[in-house]
């Protein structure tokens, strides 16, 4: 196994990652107030209050903190935890949407993140136009998309609706198109944030099959779901988050 660093370096590695939201942002009206709030923050930091590792201070909120784990290649890890425990925040940091406040991380390989299905869709454009647009959002060229479009439409089972504005889609159809598009790319790392629950039962089964095939092809998967059964079916290990911190030791 250890002959190649490709196999030994983990696909994802987080070291002490934290994300701090500043509350009361709406109170900052003017430059003057901004400077005052910066100064008080600095003062607090100097007095060491920032060192207290509470999740919430007067105007700060740590959505996640001290998150360290690594995901070996080809492993499917489930992230669990109550609402607001920081699962989506963690995934956003890994997918590169959210720049962390502290810590560092490495992500190796191409990433496809399903944080929200059809996030880039425009209601006034047709399904087909949105596929081209959505594919370019993940950096695909027009020619590459043209090769995939039939497969995407077939998987979403939307052949009859594909030239209709997505404004007229049901929310399930919308999500199906989003899922078909996002998983048709061939990522090394797939990030899935509880998006499988939207479609109807047959479509959910298809999604599960597709995820299985990702696993078979030794792709790395990070999976968030509130469905314990799904977690148990898919994931090799789980990481539980609680109040923005890891609750279980890194396996």
Partner 1 sequence: MNPESTAAAEPVVHIRADRGNWDFHNLVRAPIQELVQFKELIRNTVVRDIKVRYKRSVLGIAWTIIAPLMQMIVMWTVFTKAFQVSMPNYALYLFSGIITWNLFSQSSVAGGASILGAAGLITKIKLPRVLFPLTAVINNLVNFSFAFAALLLLMVVTRAPFHWTMLSVPFMLLPLILFCMGWAMLVSALSVFFRDLQYILEIALGALFYATPIFWDPTALPAKWHWVASVNPLAKYVFMMKASIYHGVLPNFSTYAIATFTGLAMFVIGWIVFQRLQRKFIYWI
Ligand X SMILES: Nc1ncnc2c1ncn2[C@@H]1O[C@H](COP(=O)(O)OP(=O)(O)OP(=O)(O)O)[C@@H](O)[C@H]1O
Tell me how far CA of residue 68 lies from CA of 6, 13, 16, 104, 243, in angstroms. 21, 7, 5, 9, 15
All residues at 6 or more sequence positions from 251 whose CB lies less than 8 Å from its CB, including other chains: 237
Contact 233, 239 (CB under 8 A): no
All residues at 6 or more sequence positions from 167 whose CB lies less than 8 Å from its CB, including other chains: 123, 124
Contact 62, 19 (CB under 8 A): yes
Closer of 118 and 235 to partner 1 (Cβ): 118
Q: How many residues lie near ligand X (CB under 6 A)?
A: 11
> Using the rule CB under 6 A, which residue among 17, 18, 73, 89 binds ligand X?
89
- Does the footprint of ligand X cover residue 240 (CB under 6 A)? no
Per-residue x/- track, 100-139, partner 1 (CB under 8 A): xxxxxxxxxxxx-x-xx--xx-x-xx---x--xx--xxxx
By DSSP bridging, strand 60-71 and strand 12-22 are antiparallel
Per-residue x/- track, 60-99, Mg ion (CB under 5 A): ----------------------------x-----------
Instruction: Decide which of Mg ion, ligand X, partner 1, none touches 95; Cβ closer than 5 to 8 Å per partner kind.
Output: partner 1
- Does the footprint of partner 1 cover residue 60 (CB under 8 A)? no
- Does the footprint of ligand X cover residue 88 (CB under 6 A)? yes
Closer of 77 and 113 to partner 1 (Cβ): 113
Shortest Cβ 47–partner 1 spacing (Å): 22
Q: Which of 13, 11, 69, 41 is nearest to 245 (CA)?
A: 69
- Does the footprint of partner 1 cover residue 39 (CB under 8 A)? no
Closer of 80 and 130 to partner 1 (Cβ): 130
Per-residue x/- track, 14-53, ligand X (CB under 6 A): -------x--------------------------------
- Starting at the edge strand found earlier in the chain, the sheet holding 111-114 runs 111-114, 189-193, 220-224, 76-80, 237-242, 245-246
- CA separation for the pair 164, 128 (Å, rounded): 8
Q: Which residues bind ligand X (CB under 6 A)?
A: 21, 61, 63, 81, 83-89
């Amino acid at each position: 196994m250890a002959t190649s660093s490709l196999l030994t370096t983990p696909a994802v590695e987080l070291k002490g990652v934290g994300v701090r939201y500043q509350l009361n942002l709406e109170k900052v009206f003017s430059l003057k107030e901004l400077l005052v709030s910066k100064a008080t923050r600095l003062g607090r930091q100097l007095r060491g209050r920032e060192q207290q590792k509470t999740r919430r201070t007067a105007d700060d909120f740590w959505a996640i903190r001290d998150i360290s784990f690594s995901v070996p290649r080809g492993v499917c890890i489930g992230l669990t935890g109550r609402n607001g425990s920081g699962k989506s925040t963690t995934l956003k940091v890994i997918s590169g949407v959210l720049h962390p406040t502290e810590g560092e991380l490495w992500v190796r390989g191409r990433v496809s993140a399903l944080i929200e299905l059809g996030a880039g869709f425009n209601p006034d454009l047709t399904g087909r136009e949105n596929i081209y647009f959505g594919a370019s959002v993940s950096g695909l060229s027009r020619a590459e998309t043209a090769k995939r479009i039939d497969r995407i439409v077939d998987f979403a089972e939307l052949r009859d609706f594909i030239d209709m504005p997505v404004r007229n889609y049901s929310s399930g159809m919308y999500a199906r198109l989003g899922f078909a598009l996002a998983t048709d790319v061939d990522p090394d790392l797939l990030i899935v944030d509880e998006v499988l629950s939207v479609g109807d039962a047959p479509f959910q089964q298809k999604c599960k099959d597709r995820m299985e095939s990702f696993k078979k092809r030794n792709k790395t998967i990070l999976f968030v779901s509130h469905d314990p059964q799904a977690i148990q079916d898919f994931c090799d290990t789980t990481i539980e988050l609680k109040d923005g911190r890891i609750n279980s030791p890194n396996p």
